[in-house]
Structure 1
Amino acid sequence: MSQYILLNRIRVQNANATAGFTWGFPAITHFLGFTHNLSRKLNQSDSYSGISLTGCAVISHEHHVHTYGKYGDRFTQVKSSYISTPKFDKGVMKTPSIIEEGKMNMTVSLLIEVEGRVGNATWVEQFVAWIEKQSLIQRLAGGTILDIADVKLVDTQEKRDRYALKGKLLPGFVLMDRSSSLEKRYQTLQQENPDAELLDAWLDFSAFKQQARPKYDLISKYLEKGFKQDEATYASLLQDWQKHLERVPYQQDSIPYLLKEHFSRLDAKKYKTLLAQWQQYLEPNEKTPADWERLPKPEARGYLVPLMVGYKAITPVYDNGEIANTRDSKTPVCFVEAVHSIGEWKSAHRLRTEADFAESIWRYDYQEHWYLCKQDTALEAMDEPNETTTEEAVISTDDDYEDD
């Protein structure tokens, strides 16, 4: 498919910034829900009933999460009661507790896939105006749409059209599905430790992990000073030492043999303090002074982020009348848990071919007990979609579900 509706530079205020275990950007389900609602309105209209919107790409241009604190780790909350009349208990006014929520302002573009036969230039102009009007009165990720810079029907078959489209998306970052990276990491952990769980692999991508490296400032100063005085002797030693420090995390078995041999020949009295630090570096214990280094993510290339990609059923489907406090009185009810995976923010300038644009489109993928959002890049790895292969690519908050 090469026809798309571009909603360029959508400014959204107070969008949801939390999704499952993650925060900082809305879940992909918000954007597909926005697209699906537009598609339903198209099907109900007289003029555009033959057109459907089947998926969308998400391009982020700007975002501001409503947080405060040293590391932006606390959400700015507003205590606004949903009860207009305060309650009194023994003469003391009682108000409901604050409902915690994370909000953000953002500017995004949506590239929405269009299926169906379009008309002439006049028809396209009216269709684009209709899409813009309907988009402005909808909410996106629970936030209010303040403005849309441009709405246009675009095609990616021709190279010049792709370049023009890419120019509109820059500067911006496209959200890509990297569930295959999560599956690969999980398989690696299983080889190292059969008891490793899928959650361990996901945390390797999402958690900020650190590991201690013993203090080495005296060692570096000694080698740098020696290099200045005797370059021929210390050049290889300093080079090996610098390469060793570049390796993260710290590993005792990665210390070069030439360095061990060199320090073993030093005068113990003359270099007492230096050799004490060297010995601690070789054989650290819980009392050894150390610096903390941030561990890299399993895949060094790419801006990988934790991502919520859908839901997994944890109960059977109930008739509406069996469950209290539902949204309406007709729709069946099923309780679900959030499903998490890994995504990557990729610069929009990397969208070069027609296939690149097609692969950036997120679509719904329905399976028994699963309601997921995926891209073609992830679906290609699953020849026959089923619950087992899905669990290898995404992590649910309830992996022990059993259907009664």
Structure 2
Amino acid sequence: MNTLPNSDGLLILPRLRVQNANAISSPLTHGFPSMTAFLGLMWALARKLEAHDLPLAFDSVGVICHDFDEQVTEGGYVKAFRLTRNPVGKDGGSAAIVEEGRMHMEITLIFGISGGFVELDDRAHDAIAQTVAHELAGMRIAGGSVLPSSDWRSRPAVLRFGDDAEDVRRRFRHLRRHWLPGFALVCRDDLLHARLDQLREAAPETTALDALLDLSRFNWRPVGPDAESDGASATTAKVEWKPEPRPGWIVPIPVGFGALSELMPAGEVQSARDRNTPFRFVESVYSIGQWISPHRLDNAAQLLWYASTDPAAGLYRCRNDFASRLSA
């Protein structure tokens, strides 16, 4: 299993305003782009920066959401995406509507970086951060356009880790206050495993999908009166329905892809986007994520996501070590 790379510092791109990003993160979830989109952005940005020959490499990425506006209809319990009918067909008629979920959002991106930048001074670090921000301004983030911002809080920065662990913690505590108000997305595989074990105590045939669905909804449980404190019989006792406590703001999230077929040679599958890369049919892999306030983060490693691949098992997923580092 892959582990979080040992980064030498952080590259912070704060308060990015993104318009019309993809709000549909998987066939089953919506509301915020998948972390696979942000890892893809990281790799695309690294390729863009090759022309600048910067002394750094991207290892991981974290995201903090400050504001979002999903483009859905207002009013009522059931909502629908605001859809557009474009472009027109060859005959000038209207094309069929394609289901596209869009959202506007304001986010902070934090990249774990390593390389020779650690030997440079603060002025060089500022130049590196400005170069990265300039390249990102012309790219897409989860399909959305980056809008210009005059907010003084949107200034990019490079944070270099030193040998003094206490100094690193102090600087990170100072940095996380700048990310308020906002919420950071972390992975909570541990909550999914715990709920699966809990459900299997009553129903041994329970699957991981059952546990995922149970955590993804609001559950109301009947609560009866205490038999010792209430002398009423079981038949006349009043039962009260109460919502089940939830361990924070948890949501179902896609965390990667699982293989549906063997790895096929490049060019063998028709209509593949890339004819020079081996091809494999995959489906989404799901887990539980949690939105937490940045001031609850103890270190950058709890925030960062990284790629983990196991081609033999057909698993390609994003990982985050928040739960393991929290227990440690």
Query: TM-score normalised to the size of structure 1?
Result: 0.69
Residue in 2 aligned with 1:154?
159
1:203 paired to 2:213: yes
Asked whether the 8 Å contact 1:303–1:344 carries over to 2, the reply is yes
Give the aligned partner of residue 307 of structure 1. 253
2:178 is paired with a residue whose SS is helix
Query: Where does residue 61 of structure 1 map in the other structure?
Result: 66
One-letter identity of the residue aligned with 2:39: L
Work out the CA distance in 2 between the residues paired with 1:176 and 1:364. 14
Residue 188 of structure 1: CA displacement? 1.7
Q: Output the amino acid matched with 2:207.
A: E
How much does 1:172 deviate? 1.2
Paired position in structure 2 for 1:35: 42
CA RMSD of aligned residues (A): 2.5
Structure 1 residue 250: deviation in Å?
1.3
Q: Give the TM-score normalised by structure 2.
A: 0.84
The share of aligned pairs that are identical, in percent, is 30
Alignment of 1:310-325 (within 5 A): 310-325=256-271
Q: Per-residue displacement from partner, 1:123-181 (whole Å, max 9, x unpaired)?
A: 32321121011110111011111135221112465244223311221111111110111
Gaps of 5+ in 2: 1-6
Kindly provide the CA deviation profile for residues 4-33 of structure 1, in whole angstroms up to 9, marking residues without a partner as x: 010000100011111221111111111111
Instruction: For 1:41 and 1:312, locate their aligned partners in 2 and report how far apart those are by CA, in whole Å.
Output: 28
Distance in 2 of aligned mates of 1:150 and 1:205: 38
**Within 5 A, what are the aligned runs for 1:23-102?**
23-42=30-49, 44-45=50-51, 47-48=53-54, 50-68=55-73, 69-71=75-77, 73-81=79-87, 83-86=89-92, 95-102=94-101
2:184 alignment counterpart: 174
Runs (4+) off by over 6 Å: none
Of stretches 171-180 and 145-154 in structure 1, the one that deviates more from structure 2 is: 145-154
Residue 380 of structure 1 and its aligned partner are, at CA, apart by 7.5
Whether 1:374 and 2:319 are equivalent positions in the alignment is yes
Residue 75 of structure 1: SS of its match in structure 2? coil
Task: Pick which of 2-11 and 123-132 moved more.
Answer: 123-132
Partner of 2:198: 188
Question: Could you report, residue by residue, the CA deviation over 1:246-282 in whole angstroms, capped at 9, with x for unpaired residues?
Answer: xxx2144x5433422xx57xxxxxxxxxxxxx95545
What amino acid maps onto 1:371 in structure 2?
Y
> Residues 333-348 of structure 1: matches in 2 within 5 Å?
333-348=279-294
Asked which structure has the greater CA Rg, the reply is 1
Does residue 357 of the first structure (1) align with residue 300 of the second (2)? yes
In 2: Cα distance, 1:331 partner to 1:187 partner:
40
Pairing 1:230-249 to 2, within 5 Å after superposition: 249=221
Give the match for residue 3 of structure 2. Answer: none
- Cα distance in 1 for partners of 2:178, 2:148 equals 16
How far apart are the structure 2 equivalents of 1:3 and 1:17? Answer: 30
Which one has the bigger helix percentage?
A: 1
Aligned counterparts of 1:32 and 1:75: Cα–Cα separation in 2: 26
What SS does the corresponding residue of 1:322 show, helix, strand or coil? coil
When residues 296 and 251 of structure 1 are mapped into structure 2, their CA distance, relative to the original with a 3 A threshold, is closer
**Does residue 12 in structure 1 map to residue 18 in structure 2?**
yes
Aligned partner of residue 124 in structure 1, secondary structure: helix
Structure 1 distance, partners of 2:130, 2:173, is: 24
Secondary structure at the aligned position of 2:222 is classed as coil
* Matched-pair contact (CA < 8 Å) for 1:309–1:373: yes
Kept in 2, the 8 Å contact 1:155–1:162? The answer is: no
Say if 1:36 and 1:54, in contact at 8 Å, map to a contact too: no
Q: Which runs of 5+ in 1 are unaligned?
A: 87-92, 211-248, 265-277, 285-290, 382-404
Match of 2:70, as an amino acid?
Answer: V
Q: How many residues align?
A: 305
Cα distance between partner residues in 2 of 1:155 and 1:161: 10
Give the stretch that moved more between structures: 195-204 or 156-165.
156-165
State the distance in 1 between where 2:78 and 2:289 align: 22
